[in-house]
Amino acid sequence: QVQLVESGGGVVQPGRSLRLSCAASGFTFTSYAVHWVRQAPGKGLEWVAVISDDGRTKFYADSVKGRFTISRDNSKNTVYLQMNSLSTEDTALYYCARAQPYSSFDYWGQGTLVTVSS
């Protein structure tokens, strides 16, 4: 069955970095784009970034552009989100999701919590 498992979250001080991972299984990983979506405590969903199936195309939300970098290792079926210059506004539960082209995010992981605090 399709599974996405996020890891790498934790508590980090403002200005520091963190790298999240999204390990995929149960489907042909190289056929799908993968997105990151975050949810601040008690708030709605915010799209963060996407990487295409071949890793060549990436898009970012304005709120993270220049600070976050999305990448993937198709040999490990894993997508990464490198987060630099973190601020308290980045505190959220971070989900990765598999994308069906122009139609939906059909599978989501359980999320990994990032807390930015001094």
Partner 1 sequence: DIQLTQSPSFLSASVGDRVTITCRASQGISSSLAWYLQKPGKAPKLLIYTASTLQSGVPSRFSGSGSGTEFTLTISSLQPEDFATYYCQQLYSYPRTFGGGTKVEIK
Q: What are phi and psi of 90, to 5 degrees?
A: -90, -5
In sequence order, the β-bridge partners of residue 4 are: 24
From the CB of 85, what's the least distance to partner 1, in Å? 20
Q: How many helices (H) does the chain have, and how many strands (E)?
A: 0, 11
Q: How many residues does the chain have?
A: 118
Question: Which CB, 58 or 118, lies closer to partner 1?
Answer: 58
Tokens of 3: 């599974």
Q: How far is CA 30 from the centre of its chain?
A: 17
Quote the CA–CA distance of 9 and 100 in Å, as a whole number. Answer: 26
Question: Which CB, 80 or 95, lies closer to partner 1?
Answer: 95
From the CB of 108, what's the least distance to partner 1, in Å? 4
From the CB of 112, what's the least distance to partner 1, in Å? 11
From the CB of 42, what's the least distance to partner 1, in Å? 10
| Contact positions vs partner 1 (CB under 8 A) | 35, 37, 44-47, 50, 59, 61-62, 95, 100, 102-106, 108-111
Question: Which CB, 74 or 110, lies closer to partner 1?
Answer: 110
Question: Which CB, 27 or 59, lies closer to partner 1?
Answer: 59
DSSP 3-state of 79: strand
